[in-house]
Chain A
Amino acid sequence: MTDSTQYLTELDADLARAGIHGARRKRIIAEFADHLRCDPDADLGDPVALAAQFADELGTSVARTAAFRAFLALALAGVLVAVRLVALLPLQAVTFGTRDTVALLIAAVAGQVAFVAGGLGLLRALQLRGRGAIPRQEAAILARRAGVGLAAGAVTLVAFPITQSYQAQSGAVAIGSHPTNLWWPLASALGLAALALAATAVVRAARLRPQASGRAGDLLADLGPLRPALARISGGSVNRLALALGAGLTIVVALTGIAAGDPYDGILRGLLEGGAFLGAYAVLGRYLGIRR
């Protein structure tokens, strides 16, 4: 084995260890092979350090791309679900069985998790615009937000008890009024395909292992120009900010119920929404880089 061949073999293995695969890795090896053909004595540098540099240099844009694609796919899935929901309203007239009620609740919770994770991913990606190498932890958080958003989006699409809704209330279906029509299955398939397409970018981001050290930001880092004001209100504490947001959500939902003439239902739903928000914050907050 020549020195050049050995060098390229080592570089190939180190690139794989740094999470660089497929066409990108083949291309890097081809470029380095060409360089060594031009100058067999060239000092290209330590393969381990070079692989880490590639991961660092590509880490920011790969992670941001994953966040943007995830958000776009979730936006499309969100529109499809929203159209379907509007077409089925009012759901109050529908009597669901226990299984359908659970499915509807899962779809409702997953939909909100998808919205929050995807939205926060987009916010963080925007905040990182123009940044060079970002810390490994920051890249991981972007990939997690995109991944959780996509997974929750898929659950929302799959769990929504559409067949039961058709059967219970086929007359209310505005877009295609027959239970056997293909609108919703096709729309679901389109939504799931968009999510799967975005998932490839998320997998690429999750596999890449930048080496840059440093801490990732928390929720306050996502807020951009609002950060100083919200940091002042919360005393710089993300936990306090989350409590305030949970309380705000509870009050808004309760007020909606009161305005609709059903204060008990409004207050109950407000408490459930606020509780679910704080529960999700407690469970996913650290994983999604909302709190440290």
Chain B
Amino acid sequence: MTLSIALLGVEAEQLKGHLDGLVLSVIAGEPKHGYAVIEALKTRSQGRLDLPEGTVYPALHRLERNGLLASKWSQSGRRRRVYRLTTKGERELGMRRRRWRDFATTVEAVLA
């Protein structure tokens, strides 16, 4: 089953290969629970990424199983699962950022 992504202003196909990088990026700043990850994606894209909210959770679980994220139940306040980047996740995010910048520079050079 493919991830269905409803978008405002961004083509779904354009986003498909980038969801992991986007999720890693919003968690990189500080550890977040699922709801906060989705809110951060909306806020940082200025509302242009409007993901069906539930679809982010399977990606979080997969990224954790692949060792890019770690999670634990929060100790203070409400019981919620908080995700943080692992060292492997930081490396992966750095690589994805470099690749994206190379790609964007290349496309920009041709389009411009």
Chain A positions within 8 Å of B, measured between CB atoms, are: 24, 27-28, 30-32, 34-35, 37-39, 42-45, 49-50, 52-54, 56-58, 61-62, 133, 211-212
Contact = CB atoms under 8 A, between A and B. Distances in A.
Nearest to A20: B61
B55 A45 contact: yes
A27 B81 contact: yes
Nearest to A59: B62
Interface string B46-74: 00000011110111011001100000000
Contacts, number: 70
B80 A53 contact: no
A53 B3 contact: yes
Given A37-B78, A61-B62, A62-B65, A32 B1 contact: no
A30 B73 CA distance: 10
Contacts of B62: 57-58, 61
Given A30-B81, A34-B33, A34-B35, A44 B52 contact: yes
The DSSP consensus for interface residues of chain A is helix
Interface of B: 1-4, 33-35, 38, 52-55, 57-59, 61-62, 65-66, 78-81
Given A35-B35, A37-B78, A38-B35, A57 B61 contact: yes
A14 B18 CA distance: 28
Contacts of B38: 35
B34 A56 contact: no
Given A44-B52, A50-B54, A57-B62, A31 B1 contact: no
Given A34-B34, A37-B78, A45 B59 contact: no
A133 B55 CA distance: 14
B1 A56 contact: yes
A28 B80 contact: no
The 4 closest A-B pairs by CB, nearest first: A44-B54, A45-B54, A57-B62, A57-B58
Contacts of A54: 57-58, 61
A212 B1 contact: yes
A29 to B, nearest CB: 11
Given A35-B34, A49-B4, 8 more contacts: A32-B54, A34-B33, A34-B80, A35-B38, A45-B52, A50-B55, A56-B58, A57-B58
Contact of B66 (A24, A32, A49, A61): A61
Contacts of B4: 49
B58 A44 contact: no
B55 A58 contact: no
A58 B58 contact: yes
B59 A43 contact: no
A44 B53 contact: yes
A77 to B, nearest CB: 26
A24 B38 CA distance: 21
A45 B53 contact: yes
Nearest to B62: A57
A35 B58 contact: no
A34 B61 CA distance: 16
A40 to B, nearest CB: 12
B73 to A, nearest CB: 8
A161 B22 CA distance: 58
Contacts of A34: 33-35, 78-81
14 contacts: A27-B81, A31-B33, A31-B80, A34-B34, A34-B79, A34-B81, A37-B78, A38-B35, A44-B53, A50-B58, A54-B58, A56-B1, A61-B62, A212-B1
A37 B38 CA distance: 14
B61 to A, nearest CB: 6
Contacts of A50: 54-55, 57-58
A44 B38 CA distance: 11
Contacts of B33: 31, 34
